[in-house]
Structure 1
Amino acid sequence: MTTHKYSSFEEIDEKLKILKLETEIDKESFKFDVLNFKKNISSTLFSGGISSLVQITILSFVTKKLSKILGKQS
């Protein structure tokens, strides 16, 4: 990360708005990825059997934990 010297409060406000929007985009992207992941898991469940069920349970647990961690960072 590089250091930047701002010349006005407007410049700082603009940068903060950009960072906030980037954070929102990242959150929405993560939500989209989780939904796609859940869809893929569902299709795997129907075709995989017991071992797939265990994998799905573990992956579901991990995604919930990641969601909580990312939610706390905002």
Structure 2
Amino acid sequence: MMPNNYNSFNEIDNQLKILSLQKQIYKEHIKLNIKSSKNSLSAINIKSEFKSALQEQVLTFIINNLIKRFK
């Protein structure tokens, strides 16, 4: 970050207000990301992901066994 040259206290105040607003925006982004992460890690989502992964593994096992039997 390059140092700024200010000509008045008003310019400094304006820059401080801008920085304060940017800080608030960043905080809100973090809160939103945390909330989104909590929702994606809920028990229902984890259960459904596990169930689909298990189904995929079972289907792969069955298909592989069927292929071996018909060879």
Q: Under TM normalisation by the shorter chain, which class is it?
A: 0.5 to 0.7
**Which of the pair has more CA radius of gyration?**
2
Which 4+ runs in 1 deviate beyond 6 A?
A: none
3-state SS of the aligned residue for 1:33? helix
- Structure 1's unaligned 5+ residue stretches are 50-74
Shift of 1:30: 0.4
- Deviation per CA, 1:5-58, whole angstroms, max 9, x where unpaired? 100000000000000000000000100000001111114322238xxxxxxxxx
User: What TM-score results when the alignment is normalised by the length of structure 1?
Assistant: 0.60
In structure 2, what is the equivalent of residue 44 of structure 1?
45
Shift of 1:3: 1.1
In structure 1, what is the equivalent of residue 59 of structure 2?
none
In structure 1, what is the equivalent of residue 20 of structure 2?
20
Aligned length: 49
- Structure 2's unaligned 5+ residue stretches are 52-71
In structure 2, what is the equivalent of residue 62 of structure 1?
none
Q: Larger relative contact order (C-alpha < 8 A, sep ≥ 6)? A: 1
